[in-house]
Structure 1
Amino acid sequence: MVRPNEEVEALLQEYADLIAITGGDAFKARAYEKAARAIGGHPADVSRLDVAGLREIPGVGRSIAEKVVEYFRTGRVTVVEETRARIPAGVRQLITIPTLGPRKAMAVYEDLHISSVDELADAIKAEKLRGLKGFGEKTEANILHGIALMQQAGGRIPLSTAMESAEEIVAELSRITGCEDCAYAGSLRRMRETIGDIDILVAAGRSAPFMDALTELASTAEVIAHGEKKTSIRTVKGVQVDLRVVRPDSWGAGMQYFTGSKAHNIRTRTIAVHLGLKLSEYGLFETEGGERVASRSEDEVYSRLGLPWIPPTLREDRGEIEAGLRGELPEVVTESDIRGDLHTHTDLTDGLAPLEEMVAAAAERGYAYYAVTDHAPNLYMQRMTDEKILAQRELVRSLDGKHHRMRLLHGTELNIDPDGAVDWPDEFLQGFDICVASVHSHFNVDRRAMTRRIVRACENPHINVIGHPTTRLIGKRPGVEADLDEVFAACARTGTALEINAQPDRLDLGDEDILRARSHGAKFAVSTDAHSLLHLAYLRYGIGMAQRGWLTPEDVINTWPLGRLRRFLRKGKRPE
């Protein structure tokens, strides 16, 4: 089920977009955006709060609080309904195109009467936008790229959305009498960055109770197929879920088969054939005589094929079979290996929680250390100053070691300017324990300039981590054009780590880039870029990407003991 907080977040974000489309006050639109993020990241259920309780959430004033209460009382917000009515449905469709934006969507509707994605694509190809103010060849190319991104995403959903739905369903089905095992499989188990549908597997003697239960869940919006061997539904979030029930003695074979990938399964079935065996979702059988020789566990199946158990995140036929046969599979990094988070934000800039609460939540996760890295002053909307960051440093120092003896690192997230410079001068940067540097603007500079820009940042002796290195937003914004091999080589040469940003809409670096960077000898930091208490749990998605990139704890700097980490962060500078 969708959390009430998420419902309100979507509603307020929509209203912010509607304000922008209609040419309303930009400050008001930003206020609703900020309130949307604050409510979405608030740990308590906002549907149970009154106006006074809602106003205690940072960024939520009386007017917004009253609208939230109205929504839960009536199911609608009058002013949002009225504003929606002023905007043609076609324009609301247009603003879903990455790179277009609300004002340009309104412009093409009013001036050219375009009200669909297809009409817009046709108009660009016919060069009809050229006469509109603010539209040129580059704008057209960006919009066409945004349309392509949207079409590529198709029906695929973010990893985090699929995970939430899958874990709810697994929990519900696991409670049913007769369930011996229940788990999700497929591309979700392999931690792909987007998911087409969710595969759920149950081990039980009878299938009917589970097939019936899936169709009756509160989160089920539509029953696509209801059978004895397979039932498919669509959830209220639009996610298709396929349920299969296997006998308990076939559980291992079923999990291996339905986890995939297709290419990996072809390789394992080929090995089986060479051994005089046949592999299916029911087990591993002798070709002659049909005797079953393995099926109860994945370990058993892989072992009979002459392979070690292969982590699901590696099952993409990218060399894992060969490595397994040679006994060279990596011991991939796990969430339990992580000793601390190296990129997080507080309400000093665009985070939703104060420093003390973020530190306490990190300590509850059992971290040995934790870095606070609020934005630097060149990201102007955050209004950072020297005085503010220094005052925060004093507070960080006062809290150091007081929560389960967790050590605190005071850092910052710097902005990499178009020329590769960053916010503060060297003498000021010297005072930070860790500096993350990220591209936050000017995404469209040419490939050579972008490469030079990031490499220069790597060469800065004070920069320790390149944050969300490609800047991509999955399904919304492509990564920057840069010679990534040159960037990765520069990171390895200068002792600058590459971030694996665990935010579900980023997952940046992605797995293929991680594999390339690893081949250059680069090190990595798996960090959450947390802007709220809830975001700290996103670490699992970053770990999934790290595993898919074949990383071990040795490759990831925030698995290291604090002393070794501090030596790395000195980046060749002499100890103070």
Structure 2
Amino acid sequence: MARANDEIAALFREYADLISITGGDAFRARVYEKAARAIGGHHTDVSTLDAKGLKEIPGVGRSIAEKVEEYLASGGVAAVEELRARIPAGVRRLTAIPSLGPRKALMLYEELGISSVDELADAIHEERLRDLKGFGPRTEENLLHGIDLLRSAGGRVHIDVAAELAEEVVAALSEVGGVQRCAYAGSLRRGRETIGDIDVLVAARTSGPVTKAFTELPYVTEVIGSGEKKTSVRTDRGLSVDLRVVPKDSWGAAMLYFTGSKAHNIKIRERAVHQKLKLSEYGLFDAESGKKIVSRTEEDVYARLGLPWIAPTLREDRGEIEAGLDGGLPEPVTEADLRGDLHTHTDLTDGLAALEDMVAAATERGYAYYAITDHAPDLYMQRMTDERMLAQREQVRALKPSRGMRLLHGVELNIGPDGGVDWPDDFLADFDLCVASVHSHFTQDRETLTRRLVRACENPYVNIIGHPTTRLIGKRPGIDADLDEVFAACARTGTALEINAHPDRLDLGDEHILRARRHGVRFAIDSDAHAVPHLAHMRYGVATAQRGWLTKDDVINTWTLTRLKRFLRKGRA
């Protein structure tokens, strides 16, 4: 089941939206937004805490703790249900459109009766919004773009949501008697950033017991179809799951077939046909006699076709088969290769955990080094000052993590509208590293945005460009900059590009990584953690890096500390 923390965080985010939509107190809405972040990022399962333990979570007072207890006891919160009843569900759906806030969504409903995304799109095309205050042609353009983003996401969810559900299903079915092997396949195994549905593969002699256990899982809401070989269900996570049961002897062929991608499989089958073979989910067969040749492992199937095993994250028909034939397949970077994390936050700015807690969690991950990079002063809402940052540096220097982990004191700088950053060179010179990121002015013209990023790369103290395109998957598109010019500037200046591992970002994405790699850019896979649980997001950043064909030598935080420090000097004397 989903963590109670995540369920309550989602409920409180909805409550904050409902308060805003109904014209409630803005401060109260922000209180619940902050509580949602704090609970979602809290390392302890809130269902194990009493009232006192709940109130020890930052941002959780008596009233919020009581609502948490109410939800844990009954599965709902009366105050939330009351506000839900006042607003049509379609109006809440409107708030999912990027650039449309709760108050404007309510205005559209009250003034024009708009209560669905389709009705809003029609109203924009009919120019019915233009008489409303705050809705001009530019707003219409932004809303249409936001609707396109929302529709393009369809029923897809972020990779972390899919991974959590898939791992629960695999764990449950692995315990069923007669199950010999169980794993997920499909786009999730390939590390795609969003997932439409989940494919689970089971090897068993008979399908009956595993199918019964599958359809009776507590989060299954509907059985779409059930048969001897395939069963499909809908779940309460917004995802469908397909279960396929095959003989153990067919495991390798089935894993290859159901992992995909479709384009990769077509190329593989074409290669089989040229060798007078036939490939299916049950094995590789002689096309004339029908005799099974290999099927038990993916390695066997690939080898019989004259190929090395190809990592699932590479199977997108981007030249991986040709590279395999030529001996040019990369050995993809793995999570085990990572020696540290170079972009993380604490509660000094917008993080949820204390410095000591973040460092302790990083130590448990076995890192050789770990960087604290709280925000600099240009993000004024973080209330950073020179004095606060220097005081943190003293704290960092005083800490002595176990297992010999080295702490690095860094900063996340803001790349201003002109490409400048928060502090002058003489102040920046004393940081161990500097991440620089765009946090505002996303709609500048292409030339200005390009110049802005290039100027940041040329700063001798900027080591990493954080979340380079600024995108939020399904919510905000990446900025319109000439990325090839930016990639060239990074390679020229010795500035790394971040692969931000947060599932909402995964920025750079795989296609941009492939382009940047051709320029000779180095990369940093970072969690951008704002809470202890976020440190585990690194797995998604690694999958994205693999999809971009990166090896560990391409990624600076797989290097030894000595080599990393040389890179961070950026050619300075």
TM-score (norm 1): 0.97
Equivalent residue runs for 1:49-448 within 5 Å: 49-400=49-400, 402-448=401-447
Residue 93 of structure 1: how far off its partner (Å): 2.2
- Change beyond 3 A, Cα 1:282–1:86: closer
CA distance in 2, matches of 1:508, 1:50: 38
Q: Name the counterpart of 2:27.
A: 27
> For 1:241, what is the secondary structure of its paired residue?
strand
Equivalenced residue count is 573
In structure 1, how many angstroms separate the alpha carbons of the residues matched to 2:246 and 2:89?
A: 46
SS in 2 for 1:199: strand
> Partner residue of 1:571?
570
Shift, 1:435, TM fit: 0.7
Distance 1:235 1:74, change over 3 A: closer
Displacement of 1:68: 1.6
Q: Residue deviations 1:34-57, cap 9 Å, x none?
A: 110110111222123232111100
Distance 1:177 1:88, change over 3 A: closer
Shift of 1:87: 3.0
Deviations 1:199-249 (A, max 9, x none): 111112111111111001112111111110101111111211111111111
Aligned to 1:494: 493
Q: Does the residue aligned with 1:412 lie in a helix, a strand or coil?
A: strand
Identify the residue that residue 481 of structure 2 maps to in structure 1. 482
In the TM superposition, residue 303 of structure 1 has moved relative to its aligned partner by: 0.5
| 1:508-527 matches, cutoff 5 A | 508-527=507-526
Deviations 1:97-139 (A, max 9, x none): 1221112212222333322212211221122222322222221
> How many angstroms apart in 1 are the aligned matches of 2:309 and 2:542?
19
Q: Secondary structure at the match of 2:403?
A: coil
Amino acid at match of 1:15: Y
Moved more, 108-117 or 1-10: 108-117
Residue 503 of structure 1 aligns with an amino acid whose one-letter code is H
Please give the alpha-carbon distance, in whole angstroms, between the structure 2 residues aligned to 1:461 and 1:110.
Answer: 54
SS in 2 for 1:404: helix
State the one-letter code of the partner of 1:426: D
The aligned counterpart of 1:44 is: 44
Residues 172, 82 of structure 1: alpha-carbon distance in 2 compared, 3 angstrom cutoff: closer
- Residue 460 of structure 1 corresponds to 459
Question: Matches of 2:204 and 2:79 in 1, distance apart?
Answer: 52
Structure 1 stretch displaced more, 70-79 or 318-327: 70-79
Which string of whole-angstrom CA distances, capped at 9 and with x for unpartnered residues, describes residues 330-387 of structure 1?
0110000000001111111111111111111111111000001111111122111111
| Cα distance in 1, alignment partners of residues 274 and 78 from structure 2 | 68
SS of 1:290's partner is coil
Aligned equivalents of 2:86 and 2:228: distance in 1?
49
Change (3 A) 1:149 1:561: same
RMSD over aligned Cα atoms:
1.3
Task: Find the residue that maps to 1:343 and give its secondary structure.
Answer: coil
Gaps of 5+ in 2: none
User: Alpha carbons of 1:328 and 1:13: their partners in 2 closer, same or farther (altered >3 Å)?
Assistant: same
TM-score, normalised to structure 2, is 0.98
Deviations along 1:247-306, one digit per CA (max 9) or x if unpaired, are 111111111111111111111111111112111111111122222211111111100100
How far apart in 1 are the matches of 2:280 and 2:433?
51
Q: Which amino acid aligns with 2:477?
A: P
How far, CA to CA, are the matches of 2:447 and 2:248 in structure 1?
57
* Matched AA of 2:549: W
Separation of aligned partners in 2, 1:170 and 1:468: 32
- Distance in 1, matches of 2:223 and 2:45, equals 29
Cα deviation, 1:154-175, whole Å, max 9, x if unaligned, reads 1111111111111111111111
Report the counterpart of residue 450 of structure 2 in structure 1: 451
- Residues 85/236 of structure 1: CA separation in 2 closer, same or farther (3 Å cut): closer
Q: Deviations over 1:46-82 (max 9, x none)?
A: 1232321111001112221122222223433333233
Stretch deviating more after TM superposition (131-140 or 329-338): 131-140
2:108, 2:417 → 1: CA distance?
A: 31
SS of 1:372's partner is: strand
Unaligned runs of 5+ residues in structure 1 are: none
Deviation at 1:428, TM superposition (A): 1.1
Q: Give the 3 Å change call, closer, same or farther, for CA 278–126 of structure 1 in structure 2.
A: same
Letter aligned with residue 151 of structure 2: Q
Taking structure 1 as reference, are residues 90 and 232 closer, same or farther at Cα in structure 2, changes over 3 Å only? closer
Tell me whether 173-182 or 508-517 shows the greater mean CA deviation.
173-182
Name which of structure 1's ranges 279-288 and 459-468 shifts more when overlaid on structure 2. 279-288
Q: C-alpha separation between the residues in 2 aligned to 1:443 and 1:514?
A: 21
> For the residues of structure 1 that align with 2:75 and 2:138, how far apart are their CA atoms?
42
The 4+ residue runs of structure 1 with deviation greater than 6 A are none
Sequence identity percentage: 72
Q: Which whole-Å CA distance do the structure 2 matches of 1:426 and 1:49 have between them?
A: 47
Q: Which moved more, 1:505-514 or 1:132-141?
A: 132-141
2-structure distance, mates of 1:507, 1:355: 25
Q: CA deviation at 1:25?
A: 3.2
1:17 maps to 2:22: no
Q: CA deviation at 1:21?
A: 2.2
Q: Secondary structure at the match of 1:396?
A: helix
Question: Secondary structure, in 3 states, of the residue corresponding to 2:404?
Answer: coil
User: Which secondary structure does the structure 1 equivalent of 2:412 belong to?
Assistant: strand
Indicate the larger mover: 285-294 or 564-573: 285-294
